[in-house]
Chains A and B, each alone.
Chain A
């Protein structure tokens, strides 16, 4: 349930070798991905300048597990803050302040809340980049000037060569039929 790394870690996110094509319209992109998927291809990834909704369902992406990490980290933060305050004020150095109990439960709530939020945010921040396979500074797209447009205004579809249904001619045909342009081989052969 809490396994964050897929079986083939980040094979699609960090392309190695395969076929890439550019799209100008989200509708064409969606169309192409649907057709490629129908062809039985599984190692497909789409690179977009903003999150295009609907692609994730076609690519059969699972719901992100990050919220679980955030929840658990927040809970740990809550307990850490409670234990810290209990031990420091109630056990290690008891100090009578205005006759208040050494373990002043309600007074400890604000710090418990703050530490829970802090832990949760820090864990979310670390895990989200881990789940995205980042940081990673080398990419086959770096030398491909067309691919660089996929963080600006175009959409990029990538089919990995490792796919057991990989058939370059067939993929090219599908892409051509769904108004792709700049269909090309990326990465080393």
Chain B
């Protein structure tokens, strides 16, 4: 009854390939939720859970023995803990960019990818949250981070960017989760109304709050959705800006620069998009979403990766140029040391992965090649992790006083916790795709051709 045909306007490719009806979209998205997962899924879950278990074991040992089990030492007080924190927070940013910023820009192609990307945001922020909590050493005092009244009568230090981080990250997690849940409610109502299983029906009924899709409900819903997008947009920019303040407001060479907030935000979106691409290119294949998350969706995301790569490359160059141009010998030394010092190999991995590798995306042929994009996304993920490592390890290991220089070597517990965070992330994602609709059903129905009455708003869609 409802058909999506190739629209003729501006030679755009269709957002949804083929003649899909509304019911077909529902069935396609609900299919993974109705069927028992196969062996591959269980194998992947076993691997992720094992990784997570290793991480938990390392954390338990860390709490028992103390921070000394990590490689952190006197000049390098921040090691893998903060590297991983910044890395995971960054991964989260792509989801909000897709759900909020692309929404405000009326980018309709976001409808196919926003649900999974938003879920990734929440999972990534959860992974990120582990690190500040455990790196305080005595985790049972982690609640000191919040301005709660205590017997000492002492309050938290509101002038510290580390405290701003606490507020920024917890607000980000809360708002992202609410936004994501809001988007889920109409889809949960759809699932509630089609399921025959009484247990599922009860769960979906409770979670969908009794949503019926009345016109008056949609009116409020769309208004609130817009507000959430409008709130999330400055929020996501603020979160990584504040993360960068952790560095920029200190006096360390290589950290104390005004370029940090935009540099970090773009880096976050860059790394996040790589992760979204990595997961979605697999998810679409496994769940047969190829006609909804089409190759042109991936093409568009690759363009964003390419753009971010250029900005990141420019930021690296600007940093270096300013280090030289400022005539500050400490700053200049830090950057030469980054390239040619003992951690030089990390720097070159970073440049290779973040600046060089994505340049292949200039070619349409490679932007549309799944294997190429998986390799590039994988490299970008590695590169962005090394970027944070380079920023933290090189600046801290060689600061102003050569007498206090020391190398930082991570221990197996550092690697174990990092592995554990990946385990948690993939475990949550694997569970998510089996229990909740991985695509936004109601939004996809709204972008089908002739989904809106003739002559009304959004009558014709590309």
User: Contact between A152 and B175 (Cβ–Cβ < 8 Å)?
Assistant: no
User: Contact between B220 and A117 (Cβ–Cβ < 8 Å)?
Assistant: no
A132 to chain B, nearest CB (A): 4
Residues of chain B with a CB closer than 8 A to A95's CB: 154-155, 157
> How far apart sit A128 and B238, CA to CA, in the bound complex (Å)?
25
Partner of B450, one of A26, A114, A117: A26
Binds A, one of B162-170, B252-260, B292-300: B162-170
Partner of B215, one of A46, A67, A85: A46
Residues of chain A with a CB closer than 8 A to B57's CB: none
User: Contact between A13 and B214 (Cβ–Cβ < 8 Å)?
Assistant: yes
For chain A residues 2-47, which have a beta carbon within 8 Å of chain B? 12-14, 24-27, 29-30, 45-47
Residue of B nearest to A54 (CB): B456
Residues of chain A with a CB closer than 8 A to B179's CB: 121
Residues of chain A with a CB closer than 8 A to B154's CB: 93, 95
Residue of A nearest to B223 (CB): A64
For chain B residues 216-253, which have a beta carbon within 8 Å of chain A? 216-224, 227-228, 231, 234-235, 238, 242, 245
Residue of A nearest to B444 (CB): A50
User: Contact between A26 and B158 (Cβ–Cβ < 8 Å)?
Assistant: no
User: Contact between A48 and B213 (Cβ–Cβ < 8 Å)?
Assistant: yes
User: Contact between B227 and A122 (Cβ–Cβ < 8 Å)?
Assistant: no
Q: B1 interface residue, CB < 8 Å from A? A: yes
User: Contact between B164 and A110 (Cβ–Cβ < 8 Å)?
Assistant: yes
Residue of B nearest to A89 (CB): B158
Residues of chain B with a CB closer than 8 A to A122's CB: 174, 178
Q: B68 interface residue, CB < 8 Å from A? A: no
Residues of chain B with a CB closer than 8 A to A136's CB: 209-210
User: Contact between B453 and A13 (Cβ–Cβ < 8 Å)?
Assistant: no
Binds B, one of A55-63, A161-169, A170-178: A55-63
> How far apart sit A124 and B190, CA to CA, in the bound complex (Å)?
23
Q: A131 interface residue, CB < 8 Å from B? A: yes
User: Contact between A54 and B457 (Cβ–Cβ < 8 Å)?
Assistant: yes
Residues of chain B with a CB closer than 8 A to A54's CB: 452-453, 455-457
Q: B22 interface residue, CB < 8 Å from A? A: yes
Residue of B nearest to A33 (CB): B215
From known contacts A64-B223, A93-B153, infer whether A148 and B1 are also in contact, taking CB-CB under 8 Å: no
Q: B375 interface residue, CB < 8 Å from A? A: no
Contact with B along A51-78 (1 / 0, CB 8 A): 1111110010101101100100010000
Residue of B nearest to A27 (CB): B453
For chain B residues 244-283, which have a beta carbon within 8 Å of chain A? 245
From known contacts A67-B227, A135-B210, infer whether A52 and B158 are also in contact, taking CB-CB under 8 Å: no
Residues of chain A with a CB closer than 8 A to B456's CB: 30, 53-54
User: Contact between B189 and A128 (Cβ–Cβ < 8 Å)?
Assistant: no
> How far apart sit A4 and B127, CA to CA, in the bound complex (Å)?
39
User: Contact between B216 and A61 (Cβ–Cβ < 8 Å)?
Assistant: yes
Contact with B along A136-158 (1 / 0, CB 8 A): 11110100000011111100000
Q: A134 interface residue, CB < 8 Å from B? A: yes
> How far apart sit A53 and B167, CA to CA, in the bound complex (Å)?
38
For chain B residues 440-458, which have a beta carbon within 8 Å of chain A? 441-443, 445-446, 450-458
Q: B205 interface residue, CB < 8 Å from A? A: yes
Residues of chain A with a CB closer than 8 A to B453's CB: 26-27, 29-30, 52-55
> How far apart sit A13 and B194, CA to CA, in the bound complex (Å)?
20
Partner of A110, one of B157, B168, B209, B224: B168
> How far apart sit A66 and B224, CA to CA, in the bound complex (Å)?
7
Residues of chain A with a CB closer than 8 A to B168's CB: 110, 114
> How far apart sit A30 and B452, CA to CA, in the bound complex (Å)?
9
Residues of chain A with a CB closer than 8 A to B182's CB: 125, 128
From known contacts A52-B452, A137-B210, A152-B190, infer whether A107 and B22 are also in contact, taking CB-CB under 8 Å: no
Q: B23 interface residue, CB < 8 Å from A? A: yes
Partner of A97, one of B22, B159, B174, B193: B159
Q: B411 interface residue, CB < 8 Å from A? A: no
Contact with A along B164-198 (1 / 0, CB 8 A): 10011001001100110010001001101110000
Residues of chain B with a CB closer than 8 A to A66's CB: 220, 223-224, 227
Residues of chain B with a CB closer than 8 A to A188's CB: none
> How far apart sit A125 and B182, CA to CA, in the bound complex (Å)?
8
User: Contact between B216 and A13 (Cβ–Cβ < 8 Å)?
Assistant: yes
User: Contact between B215 and A49 (Cβ–Cβ < 8 Å)?
Assistant: no
B115 to chain A, nearest CB (A): 14
User: Contact between A128 and B190 (Cβ–Cβ < 8 Å)?
Assistant: no
> How far apart sit A124 and B181, CA to CA, in the bound complex (Å)?
13
Q: A83 interface residue, CB < 8 Å from B? A: no
Beyond the given A107-B159, A124-B227, please list 4 additional residue pairs across the A-B interface where CB-CB is below 8 A. Answer: A49-B190, A121-B178, A135-B209, A152-B193
Report 25 cross-chain contacts, Cβ distance below 8 Å, ordered by A residue. A13-B212, A14-B212, A30-B456, A47-B213, A51-B442, A54-B453, A63-B223, A64-B219, A64-B222, A70-B231, A93-B153, A95-B157, A117-B231, A120-B227, A121-B175, A121-B228, A122-B174, A124-B227, A132-B217, A132-B221, A134-B217, A149-B193, A150-B212, A152-B23, A153-B22
9 A-B pairs with the lowest CB-CB distances in the bound complex, closest first = A54-B456, A153-B22, A64-B223, A128-B224, A148-B193, A135-B209, A88-B155, A51-B218, A153-B23
